[in-house]
Amino acid sequence: MTIRAEDPVPVAGVTAAAAEEGGTSPADLILPLVVVAAAVVLAGYGYLRRTRRARSRTTPGLVSAHPPEPSARDFERQARASLVAADDSVRTSREELGFAEARFGPQEVEPFAAALRAAETELAAAFAIRRRYEQGAPEDESARRQALVGIVGRCAETGRRLDTEAAGFDQLRSLEGGMSEALEVAEGRFRALAARTKDADTVQAELRERYSPSATAPITGYVEQAKDRLVFATTHLNRARQSADSGDGDRAARELRAAEGAVVQAEVLVSGVERLAAELKEAAGLVPAVLSGGEAEVAEARRRPPLVPEGELRARLAHADAALSAVREELTRGPYDPLDALRRITRAVGLLGVGRAGVIPVAALLTARSTTSAAGAFIATHRAAVGAEARTRLAEAERLLAAEYADADDLAQEARDLAERDVRAHGNPYDGPTDHASGLAGAVLGGILLGEEPDGGPPASFGGPDTRDRRRLPRE
């Protein structure tokens, strides 16, 4: 809100003119009082702002009567925070919508699904602006500031679309008044997932025996984290049922949402193990064909007129030959990383620019999808610590999967590296032995609980930044 110091002046002029005409009415007496009162309020407001600003200063001096303009760093900070909040809101809304659809069917939840799609569109536009901003576009400082304002605006619209539907969504779910069916849906997913988690433990052990450590690195700790989320879900499903039986519908809804969030994240982690196992198997089956295809590409590059200077072509051919030879040697040595083998072959052969058909693009797409999925799973299950940079690169990698496989692969790996860096730097205040045993630490790190209270805070719910924390306990 902007307050102009000169606004009262015309009003005073009108009052004086009225007085000169000699007429006095109640309105003539009230208006000056209103003006004076407004001036007092504005002066008090200005004084408080100046006092607070003076107290926050680290160096002595006079306080300016004109507040400083937000700096570029302020805009940057707000844009990053807006992206994180909007992305978290979309993720949580998508997750809770899945439980509602399982209970009521797609037709009943369509209005909320439509709101979610609209929010996703706004968020994608915000991430696209952010990506261009990171790449230096636009260059003009004023235009760059406007780009940041545009990001904040898109994120605000993302949240608004979800906040608008939050009340109607709660009315559809009716968790406070009818908990039994919602509990059955969550408990059914929990039981199926518990069985899959046991199988995933076995699968992970087999992958470690069959492939090199780098092949299984993307899922390190996933089974343990899934079990942690399931422990948390068990506790809160039991509490939800107890609260429902005692007639405390608000607490039952809170506990159920916490359990649902944990079930979703456990499923993401277990699916990550299952997906990587399938991808490694497919990659291992592709390696011989990709080796043959790569050799054919190299031979074709040697036959045809060069598209680059001779020296550059020789260097690229030598690099491709070395990559093919290294992979052939790995196949005879023992456990290796088939996805990484495909990546090295497709990258080396791709530099030759020979052809885009055949098995080479298939292999490139497989590796890009694998890296992107792994980055997405990590960010989804550690979202409370992950910043805007990692999320922006993931969004761009997902967009590029349709065509630019190598670029998507690179961006997804950057997203994963940045997310892991954020998690290492973040820490977790809920990090005691009891917090880990109950799964509380993982639930807060994963954004299942919003971390605003000693018990972990309210669970995240369908909605934007203004409504997603609505299931908090009442203040006592």
- Is the confidence at residue 21, as pLDDT, over 50? no
What are the phi and psi torsion angles at 355 (to 5°)?
-155, 160
Among 432, 430, 435, 433, residue whose Cα is nearest residue 450: 430
Residue 361 in domain: yes
Residue 59 in domain: no
- Is the confidence at residue 5, as pLDDT, over 80? no
- Is the confidence at residue 2, as pLDDT, over 50? no
Residue 476 in domain: no
**The residue to which tokens 């980055």 are assigned:** 375
Q: What pLDDT was estimated at residue 452? A: 76
Q: What pLDDT was estimated at residue 66? A: 63
Query: Do residue 217 and residue 122 come from a single domain?
Result: no
Q: What pLDDT was estimated at residue 1? A: 33
**The residue to which tokens 């690229």 are assigned:** 316
- Is the confidence at residue 38, as pLDDT, over 60? no
Average predicted confidence (pLDDT) for the chain: 87
Per-residue pLDDT, averaged over 67-74, amounts to: 78
Query: Do residue 418 and residue 381 come from a single domain?
Result: yes
Extract the tokens encoding 194: 């518990």
- Is the confidence at residue 40, as pLDDT, over 70? no
- Is the confidence at residue 60, as pLDDT, over 70? no
Q: What percent of the chain has pLDDT over 70?
A: 83
Query: Do residue 324 and residue 419 come from a single domain?
Result: yes
Angle at 40 between CA 39 and CA 43, to 5 degrees: 85
Q: What percent of the chain has pLDDT over 90?
A: 76
Q: What pLDDT was estimated at residue 437? A: 73
Per-residue pLDDT, averaged over 429-450, amounts to: 84
What range does the domain containing 138 cover? Answer: 72-173
Band of the pLDDT at 403, cuts 50, 70, 90?
confident
Residues whose CB falls within 8 Å of the CB of residue 151, separated by 6 or more in sequence, listed in order: 79, 82, 83, 126, 129, 130, 133
Angle at 227 between CA 223 and CA 230, to 5 degrees: 140
Per-residue pLDDT, averaged over 310-318, amounts to: 94
Residue 138 in domain: yes
Q: What pLDDT was estimated at residue 4? A: 35
Residue 185's CB: how many other CB atoms inside 10 A? 19
Query: Do residue 31 and residue 96 come from a single domain?
Result: no
Query: Do residue 189 and residue 113 come from a single domain?
Result: no
Extract the tokens encoding 141: 């400082």
Assessment of whether the complete model's pTM goes beyond 0.75: yes
Please answer whether residues 293 and 358 qualify as being in contact, where contact means their C-beta atoms are separated by less than 8 angstroms: yes
Of the ranges 22-26, 178-182, 343-347, the best mean pLDDT one: 343-347
Q: How far apart are CA 120 and CA 382, in angstroms?
A: 20
Band of the pLDDT at 161, cuts 50, 70, 90?
very high
- Is the confidence at residue 42, as pLDDT, over 90? no
Query: Do residue 162 and residue 192 come from a single domain?
Result: no
Query: Do residue 332 and residue 247 come from a single domain?
Result: yes
Query: Do residue 189 and residue 159 come from a single domain?
Result: no
Query: Do residue 214 and residue 271 come from a single domain?
Result: yes
Band of the pLDDT at 173, cuts 50, 70, 90?
very high
Q: What pLDDT was estimated at residue 35? A: 34
Residue 163's CB: how many other CB atoms inside 10 A? 21
The separation between the first and the last C-alpha atoms of the chain, rounded to the nearest angstrom, is 34
Q: What pLDDT was estimated at residue 343? A: 97
Among 72, 73, 71, 50, residue whose Cα is nearest residue 62: 50
Q: What pLDDT was estimated at residue 31? A: 34
Instruction: Identify the bridge partners of residue 449 per DSSP, sorted by sequence position.
Output: 459
Final residue of a structural domain among 173, 194, 215: 173
Query: Do residue 149 and residue 265 come from a single domain?
Result: no
- Is the confidence at residue 18, as pLDDT, over 60? no
Q: What pLDDT was estimated at residue 157? A: 98
Band of the pLDDT at 412, cuts 50, 70, 90?
very high
Query: Do residue 40 and residue 81 come from a single domain?
Result: no
Q: What pLDDT was estimated at residue 175? A: 94
Q: How far apart are CA 91 and CA 105, in angstroms?
A: 20
Q: Which helix (H) or strand (E) holds 377?
A: helix 359-381
Q: How far apart are CA 89 and CA 119, in angstroms?
A: 9
Could you give the number of structural domains in the chain?
A: 3
Query: Do residue 229 and residue 315 come from a single domain?
Result: yes
Handedness of CA 158, 164, 170, 173 (dihedral sign): negative
